[in-house]
Amino acid sequence: MDFAAARAELLKQLSPGIRDKRVLEAMSRVPRECFVAPEMRQFAYEDRPLPIGFGQTISQPFIIALMTEALGLSGREKVLEVGAGSGYQAAILAELARQVITVERLPALAKSAQKVLNSLGYGNVSVYVGQRPWAGRLRHPMTP
């Protein structure tokens, strides 16, 4: 499958509803197929959520774009994301902000998200496991 062509086609579909061209440019640089299971990659550029395991989904691309656009990021921000999931939203945010801190309650998803983000070179993203965020207990998934 030609993921680059599929990504470009999806962005054409999103562009009428998304005014911030920086958001669309960021999405053009992030390979969504890397954030889904191999058996789901053929669907990576459909504008719909996809399962990522543990009863969770990677959000619909239009929703990702809309939420990111609403932030109005300039590039100097430190962003806190609650619910890392696959790490896709964090990657989009990392393209537009100085630093991204993301918290995931499921250790396996946090570890997987950090692995993908690292493999893609997103050094400005830190993924934490937050089992009970209201208790103030966070730990980095790579520490014992």
DSSP state of 65: H
Instruction: For residue 104, give the nearest of 67, 60, 52, 68 by alpha carbon.
Output: 52
Q: Per-residue pLDDT tens for 59-111?
A: 999 999 999 999 999 999 999 999 999 999 999 999 999 999 999 999 999 99
Q: Distance between CA 128 and CA 105 in Å, rounded?
A: 8
| Catalytic annotation, pick one of 15, 28, 59, 112 | 59
Catalytic residue flag (residue 86): no
Instruction: For residue 18, give the nearest of 68, 58, 81 by alpha carbon.
Output: 68
Domains of the chain: 3-136 (3.40.50.150)
CA terminus-to-terminus distance, the chain: 39
pTM above 0.75, yes or no: yes
| Residue 125: its H or E element | strand 125-132
